[in-house]
Amino acid sequence: MALKLTDLKTDVHNDWCPGCLTGDTLVFSNPAVKAIRDVRPGERVLTAAGEYRQVVARIQHRYSGPMYRVRAKCFGEIRATPEHPFVAVRRTSGRHYHNSGFVEERVQASELRVGDYLVFPVMQKVEDVRTFPFNYQKKAKDTRGRLPPSIVYMDADLLRLAGYYIAEGSAHGRSLIFSFSQAETYLIEDTKASMERIFRLSGTIAESRRNGVDVVFNSSYLAKAFEALFGGRSWKKHIPHELMLLPPSKQVQLIKGLWRGDGDFRDAKARYSTTSVVLAEQVKLLLLRQGIVPIAHVEPAHENHKTAYRLYVSYWRDYNKLAEIVGVPDRKNMNRDKRSSIIRNSRLYLPVAQIETFPFEGNVYDLTINDPAHTFVTSVTASGNCGDFGIEASLKMALTEMPVDINKVALFSGIGCSSKLVHFTNAFGIHTLHGRVLGYAQGAKLANPDLEVIAVGGDGDGLGIGVGHFVHAGRRNIDMAYIIHDNGVYGLTKGQAAPTLHLGMQTKSLPEPNINSNINPIMLALASGFTFIARSYAYNTRHLKEMIKKAVAHKGFALIDALQPCPTYNDINTKEWYGGEDRIDPATKRPMPRTYDLESTGYNGRVTADMSEEDVGKNLLHVIEKSREWGDKIPIGVFYQNEIVPIYEERISERSPSYLKEPPAKQQLAKNDGKSVVNLTNLSKGLLFEKLVLAQ
């Protein structure tokens, strides 16, 4: 059975990374909207790029401390811990004027200011379809009933009819019912005509209540189909995902049906009301695709009334655009009527209206997404995440895509922020000592060569106290992989300079600039004898996933130097810095990312058996040259892969032929009375340790 992401989830939650949201924060998922605490790995959520990407992990931990309540104009409030990053734009003009330019960056909740803009993407993906399926299951005892059409055209009548049902429809056993007021004769006739044309069903009129009219269509098949597609009860109504991706020119008919049923135009405002939170957020997305910015409002439940979700459109241009869609009179030009938000380049920029703090104690949540930008969209704004979980996400995705037996995967970690990964992954794992992860991991691999061993650790753990193990591990060339979380700081112990921090750099927690030169992990690995050397970037999860797959598949010792921003302590090599947001291309007006893929340049660092010594030497020089690139151009990809150096396990088996057949892990350790029965005499002699005294 194929391994799934949910198989790798554990009950252990992060309890140290503070950048999270409250559990009731709404997240746009596919095809619904749900609280972040209910999002599960494997589901898809909307990203800041306006696309849906897979959730790799949901992080949950207990938090006690200050909580920021940030209220944006139009879309309401969101609550976050101080370090949680939002996709935002700094206000550069006066309070009463919008920016002339919008440069997006990650801004922590504690650093936001009133007037700054929160960013909300306008979904751009379009998937047009000509037909739409209705699925029915023929009843065994139904010998006279006729099935409605199973394939219908996705035309204006169907979309308008869908809007009418979502707003005013219900399914009751054998009947599909649309409920209108007696005054809405044009809706009654439009519904009857559309049902007759599309489904060949005639409706009957029944007065159901004071001034109310029910249009009834008798078909149990269609009643069940509509309920499955659009929801039954009013608070469960929703729009199928296929309709959310239609071209905006088609979606106007859906909006028309929705607003005619549950909306109105009065007092210079257009209003839409529903008891379905999912539907309210979906309608918000539909309006944004038309260039209309609604104002969201929640009316709490009271007495016998459920919570109501309302959308208001008051800005005169937006009002008139919506009025044209619905088919009602527009309103006169009001130059004094200003819109507080602004739409530009498929982005909605929402000014921050208020920021408050309050004490909080309880669970908070975050998501790890298979998205290069590592973002997800809440009901208020786009949000970011810490880079540690990008590496976790990439590892889990790689494991699900590789032909590995999870029962033979063993993860080892050292000490640091990176090293909780073994707790977050449902595989065999050992959390070892500081700087000793490679010692433990190599020992396990040599004791049981059948294991797929992957070691993880921070740059301080592996290149500081553990650098001796690093060098000698390269010499041995044991068949395993090692992933270094390279963020330049000791994140767990308040941000001291790690061995990879460059000379002269002063991060936020250093009282003086770094006085030491940095270690270059790529060059050190090359000099030590690693036979696979790669670099990737934590926020480019797809690239990192592929690097992990290649490292594990490689026969020999493989290193991945995973660059990652530390959002808490490294305020220099940030996500924005790697993304080039401080370097705007004059032609495109877009950031110029610092990382680039080596393969895109034609680079090839492989060493094969048919290469001459001269060619091997040239390749080594290319590795050194590329490893020294830093600053405005940072290469990621496979720097070096040597396929001709024998692995350590093969060298052992040449001296002790029984090693691979009977490694230590497959030998009986003790008798029933607990006495050891292990006899390593033959192995020790083969390795020239004849004088080794073994306890019997």
Q: Residue 251's domain is classified under what CATH number?
A: 3.10.28.10
pLDDT band for position 145 (cuts 50, 70, 90):
low
Asked if residues 238 and 276 have their Cβ atoms less than 8 Å apart, the reply is: yes
The reported pLDDT for the residue numbered 569 is 85
pLDDT over 70 (residue 388): no
Name the residue among 443, 496, 444, 436 with its Cα closest to residue 467. 436
**Average pLDDT over the chain, rounded to an integer:** 89
The DSSP annotation for 582-608 comes to TSB-TTT-SB--SEEEGGGGT---EE-
Neighbours of 97 (CB within 10 A): 9
Mean pLDDT of 252-259: 97
Which of 167, 145, 69 has the alpha carbon at shortest distance from 109?
A: 69
Q: How confident is the model at residue 680 (pLDDT cuts 50, 70, 90)?
A: low
Q: Burial of 249 by CB count in 10 Å (0-12 exposed, 13-18 middle, 19+ buried)?
A: exposed
Is the pLDDT at 490 greater than 60? The verdict is yes
- Written as six digits, the tokens of 661 are 């057949």
Residues 397 and 434 in one domain: yes
Q: What is the DSSP string of 527-549?
A: HHT-SEEEEEETT-HHHHHHHHH
| Contact yes or no for 191/215 (Cβ under 8 A) | yes
Structure-token match 């909006």, residue found: 255
Q: Are residues 371 and 499 in the same domain?
A: no
What are the respective helix, strand and coil percentages of the chain, to the nearest 5?
A: 30, 30, 40
Residue ending a domain, among 614, 642, 670, is: 642
Confirm whether 602 is domain-assigned. Answer: yes
Please say if the pLDDT value at position 14 is more than 60. no
With both helix axes pointing from N to C terminus, report the angle between 156-168 and 248-262 in degrees, rounded to the nearest 10: 30
- Segment of 128-142, 201-215, 391-405 carrying the highest mean pLDDT: 391-405
Instruction: Work out the number of other CB atoms within 10 angstroms of the CB of residue 571.
Output: 16
DSSP letter at 609 equals T
Compute how many other C-beta atoms are within 10 angstroms of the C-beta atom of residue 363: 13
8 A C-beta contact, residue 384 and residue 374: yes
317 and 466 co-located in one domain: no
262-281 pLDDT, tens digit per residue, is 999 988 899 999 999 999 99
Binned at pLDDT 50, 70 and 90, residue 690 comes out as: very low
Neighbours of 622 (CB within 10 A): 16
Torsion of CA 111, 115, 118, 124, to 10 degrees: -150
pLDDT of residue 695: 44
Do residues 516 and 622 share a domain? yes
- The whole-number pLDDT of residue 438 equals 96
Q: Regarding predicted confidence, which is higher, 168 or 424?
A: 168
Question: Where residue 630 falls among pLDDT bands split at 50, 70, 90?
Answer: very high
Q: Are residues 487 and 376 in the same domain?
A: no
pLDDT band for position 288 (cuts 50, 70, 90): very high
- pLDDT of 633 reads 94
CA neighbor of 487 nearest in space, from 558, 572, 419: 572
Length of the chain: 696
Statement: residue 552 has pLDDT above 70: yes
Q: Write out pLDDT tens, residues 46-96.
A: 999 888 988 877 888 888 899 999 999 999 999 999 889 899 999 998 777
**Is 621 strand, coil or helix?**
helix
In contact, 567 and 574? CB cutoff 8 Å: yes
Please check whether residue 84 lies inside any domain of the structure: yes
Judge whether residue 135 has pLDDT over 70: yes
Is residue 449 within 8 A of residue 663, CB to CB? The reply is: yes
pLDDT at 686 over 70: no
Burial (CB count within 10 angstroms: exposed 0-12, middle 13-18, buried 19+), residue 96: exposed
Domain of 358 in residue numbering reads as 18-121+346-384
Query: pTM (2 decimals)?
Result: 0.70
Within a domain: residue 55?
Answer: yes
DSSP at 369 = E
More confident residue, 45 or 541: 45
DSSP 8-state class, residue 665: G
Model pLDDT for residues 353-383, shown as the tens digit of each residue? 999 999 999 999 998 887 767 789 999 999 9
Question: With contact defined as beta carbons under 8 Å apart, do 633 and 578 qualify?
Answer: no
Average pLDDT over residues 314-325: 93
Does residue 692 surpass a pLDDT of 50? no
Q: Which of 128, 123, 162 is nearest to 281 (CA)?
A: 123
Inside any domain, residue 232: yes
- CATH number, domain containing residue 43: 2.170.16.10
320 and 220, same structural domain?
A: yes
Tokens of 333: 């030009």
Residue 452 included in any domain: yes
Q: How does pLDDT run across 644-672, given as a tens digit for each residue?
A: 999 999 999 999 999 999 898 888 878 88
Q: Which residue among 359, 384, 409 closes a domain?
A: 384
Task: Write out pLDDT tens, residues 209-255.
Answer: 678 899 999 998 899 999 999 999 999 999 999 999 999 999 999 99
Give the pLDDT band (50/70/90) at residue 17.
Answer: low
* Sequence-ordered alpha helix ranges (H) in 290-406: 316-326, 388-401
Same domain, yes or no, for 252 and 396? no
The least confident of 62-66, 209-213, 604-608, 636-640 is 209-213
Residue 651 in any domain: the answer is: no
Beta strands in 190-286 (DSSP E): 204-209, 212-218, 263-266, 269-274
Q: Give percent above pLDDT 90 in the chain.
A: 64
Same domain membership, residue 695 and residue 624: no
Residues 137 and 216 in one domain: yes
Does residue 303 register a pLDDT over 90? no
Distances (CA, A) of 563 to 385, 500, 634: 15, 10, 10
Instruction: Indicate whether 482 and 409 sit together in one domain.
Output: yes
- Of 16, 66, 111, residue with least CA distance to 494: 16
User: Taking residues 308-333, what's their average pLDDT?
Assistant: 92
Query: What is the structure's pLDDT at 51?
Result: 87
Number of domains in the chain: 4
In the chain, the amino acid numbered 454 is I
Is 334 part of any domain?
no
Largest distance between two CA atoms of the chain:
103
**Looking at the structure, do residues 144 and 109 belong to the same domain, yes or no?**
no
Q: Is residue 402 part of a domain?
A: yes
In this structure, the strands spanning 480-486 and 452-458 are: parallel
pLDDT band with cut points at 50, 70 and 90 for residue 696 = very low
Question: Given this model, what pLDDT does residue 621 score?
Answer: 95
Which residue, 363, 384, 405, sits at the end of a domain?
Answer: 384
CATH of residue 621: 3.40.50.970
Same domain for 393 and 379: no
